[in-house]
Structure 1
Amino acid sequence: MKYIVVLGDGMADRKLENLGNKTPLESARTPNLDALAARSEIGMCKTVPDGMKPGSDVANLSVLGYDPKQGYTGRSPLEAVSIGIPLRSTDVTMRCNLVTVSDEENYEDKRMIDYSAGEISTREANELIEYLKTFFDDEKFTLYSGVSYRHCLVIDKGETGNDLTPPHDITERPVRGHLPQGKLQKELLGMMRRSYELLKDHPVNLARIAAGKRPANSVWFWGEGTKPALENYEKKFGVKGGVISAVDLVKGIGMLAGMQILDVEGATGNYDTNFQGKADAALSALLNGLDLVYIHMEAPDECGHQGDVKHKIFSIEEIDRAVVGTLVKGLNDAKEPFRMLVCPDHPTPICIRTHTSDPVPYLLYDSEKDLSAGAARYDEEHAEATGVFVEDGYLLMQKLLNK
């Protein structure tokens, strides 16, 4: 038996008037999922425990089968592991976004224009981070380059307990009231202010502005944490697993769990990602030794943060066409029995452009037996109507593995 998780990050949503009071998932054309729905268990699942923030870190840990209440130490250290940063037990890490802020003179008066600096390229971003390192790196603080706008700050003998706001939570809003608070407030805010002065006229940004792109004119710190540890996935569940993702966070979780990381050329973390390549890589891995593949697609989440309804629907349709369609056909053609779980990690509603803790719809399919819960389609409305509810998200993995 082979096992697949098709994870559409942020895919769940709320009904929108401009979609005829439907969600993007309800509006999308999903013939492959529709074909599975009649024989699948479909229901709702709570992936974010009460009292925890609805981040992709917490929610993906849940779907992978780990109880976030037991082993979660913060978001950024998971990304640090993927980047290859050697963490010590005394280190504190923070996500460092390259962002676009408005040009008011006082930093406190600025607005968060774009949490991703227009999806800046990794090449451009690395040049900016290397430039900032010459000013910011010292015995206590070290910057590390990541992918696109996602980078990392490591603080030697740092202190946790800082109040830090994710920049995607305040898109197009004033930064006042959302600036760092806590023991490291002075240092963090100082670097953010200085980064604006250093970056606003940097040649990379001048070229971006000339090309009609948004400049990466500031850093923004959030998502603090400390060195994590996860139980080995194969030891915990008895299957050999792999992870496909363009996002350092999810790769880091997979690496900590001892899972195989499958890199796919053209995987971007947005709606222009190589959906087909991810599906092909997953199918190949399943037919050549792996028991389970966790396929993470960031695109619906990014579209939710951007308020981009059109491409959120497009991303869902590509997940259905390229990923679900390819895997179902490929495994059936190979006469390989399989179980497939399709779900988001959390909702990212277009109307608020950030994550929520609301339960998410899931579909569980078994190629060898009928699991029907009476739903005719996979979406939020049909999933709620079945009355099937999984209170603890980390138990979804046990349902997938039929344990």
Structure 2
Amino acid sequence: MPFSRTPPHLLIPFASHAGVACRMALHELDLPHLQALLARLTPSGEDRQDDTSLSPPHERALARARGLTPVDGQLPWAALAARERGLPGADDGQGWGLLTLCHWQVGLSEVVLGDPQQMGITARESDALLAVVKPFFEEDGLALFPGPQPGQWLVHGTLLEGLATASVDRAIGQPLAAWLPMGDAARPLRRLQNEMQMLLYTHPVNDERATHGMTPINSFWLSGTGPAPAKAQALAPAPEIATQLRESALQDDGASWAHCWATLDASTLAAWRARADAGQPMTLTLCGPRAALRLENRPRGLGGWLRARLRKPDVAAVLEAL
């Protein structure tokens, strides 16, 4: 089937979360449109791993939706971005990574990764830091390029070939020891991180951020290191991604997460429910920390339609299983 005929697809990351506050809020959710969709749609696949996988369920689901075969820790986001931009070396699709500027929160016994999306890094700051750090990376055969958005860079070099890396979304708020790439292949990268921490500590960009009470940029996170598919392989368009739950889930803010779920249900999911009620083909994928559940609107007879109308799925139980 040509990708132009692919049914509309809605992907919802952080539909559940392992944090205590979000787990408590889960059973208080009132999501009538999601409940109706769960009654009408048919499960068509589940991707279940544990919450120690490097690639979270929503990123694996995105890869599958685009026609890629996900390999844990080696999703090709950087190589695909380099190819889209026509960067030097992009044609081979190998040895690419996505560097995200971030803040490592140093505590008494552990170092924790803060959420880079909450740092407000500007294009001016990102470009200024890129110019300073480029020579350090080049000494290790790594070329740096501006990335998809401020605070992200694309990096290319043979050191990255075959290297598995954890998604930023997997590591946020967690002690970093379990998520950093280890082994001999990652040793130059760990050294570069140490050098960057010392370099960034005294950089004027951080001096200016400090005057405005902003979190300093003191490190980078490497992810998206998988090889891209052959250029001849056409990828399906990306699904619509609902991002509303991400921030509150990562902060384990149960009240805010429940509010965001209610807003999402009353707006986006209400429209998708109307599509389902009209019999339109569609796909919904719900993602939590351990699993992604894919559901589709499939033709059904009158009996199936009536049963779907009468069903009242346990929304909390479905989300809790993710």
Alignment map for 1:2-401 (pairs within 5 Å): 3-14=7-18, 16=20, 18=21, 21=24, 23=26, 26-41=27-42, 45-46=46-47, 53-55=54-56, 56-64=58-66, 66-68=68-70, 74-82=76-84, 84-86=86-88, 87-89=90-92, 91-102=94-105, 111-116=111-116, 118-138=118-138, 140-146=141-147, 147-155=149-157, 157-158=158-159, 160-162=161-163, 164-166=165-167, 168-171=169-172, 175-176=176-177, 179-229=180-230, 257=235, 259=237, 294-329=239-274, 337-344=279-286, 346-348=287-289, 358-365=290-297, 370=304, 375-377=311-313, 379-382=315-318
Q: Which runs of 5+ in 2 are unaligned?
A: none
Q: Which amino acid aligns with 1:381?
A: A
| Partner SS state of residue 46, structure 1 | strand
Q: Normalized against structure 1, the TM-score is what?
A: 0.60
Q: Which amino acid aligns with 2:103?
A: T
Q: What is the number of equivalent residue pairs in this alignment?
A: 309
RMSD in angstroms over aligned alpha carbons? 4.3
| Partner SS state of residue 153, structure 1 | strand
Summarize the Cα distance change of 1:324–1:174 in structure 2 as closer, same or farther, 3 Å threshold: closer
| Partner SS state of residue 132, structure 1 | helix
| Partner SS state of residue 120, structure 2 | coil
How much has 1:213 moved relative to structure 2?
2.2
How much has 1:134 moved relative to structure 2?
4.0
Q: Which runs of 5+ in 1 are unaligned?
A: 233-255, 262-293, 349-357, 386-403
Counterpart-to-counterpart distance in 2, 1:132 and 1:208: 17
Counterpart-to-counterpart distance in 1, 2:134 and 2:66: 39
| Partner SS state of residue 226, structure 1 | coil
Q: Which amino acid aligns with 1:100?
A: H
Counterpart-to-counterpart distance in 2, 1:48 and 1:174: 20
Counterpart-to-counterpart distance in 1, 2:186 and 2:77: 19
Q: Which amino acid aligns with 1:203?
A: P
Q: Which amino acid aligns with 2:282?
A: M
1:331-359 deviations in Å (ceiling 9; x for gaps): 69xx9751222222x313xxxxxxxxx33
Summarize the Cα distance change of 1:178–1:80 in structure 2 as closer, same or farther, 3 Å threshold: same
1:51-104 deviations in Å (ceiling 9; x for gaps): 9744344232234554436xx764432444455535142740122121112469
Q: Which amino acid aligns with 2:315?
A: D
Summarize the Cα distance change of 1:20–1:308 in structure 2 as closer, same or farther, 3 Å threshold: closer
> Higher helix share goes to which structure?
2
Counterpart-to-counterpart distance in 2, 1:181 and 1:311: 36
How much has 1:382 moved relative to structure 2?
4.6
Q: Is the 8 A contact 1:303 1:312 kept in 2?
A: yes
Counterpart-to-counterpart distance in 2, 1:178 and 1:38: 38
Q: Normalized against structure 2, the TM-score is what?
A: 0.73
Summarize the Cα distance change of 1:210–1:94 in structure 2 as closer, same or farther, 3 Å threshold: same
Q: Is the 8 A contact 2:80 2:93 kept in 1?
A: no
1:10-63 deviations in Å (ceiling 9; x for gaps): 3233584x568452xx543423323444433358722659x9744344232234
How much has 1:164 moved relative to structure 2?
4.3
Q: Which amino acid aligns with 1:198?
A: L
Summarize the Cα distance change of 1:310–1:150 in structure 2 as closer, same or farther, 3 Å threshold: farther
Counterpart residue number, 1:246: none
Q: Is the 8 A contact 1:61 1:68 kept in 2?
A: yes
| Partner SS state of residue 188, structure 1 | helix
Counterpart-to-counterpart distance in 1, 2:222 and 2:125: 15
| Partner SS state of residue 224, structure 1 | coil
Identical aligned residues as a percent = 17
| Partner SS state of residue 222, structure 2 | strand
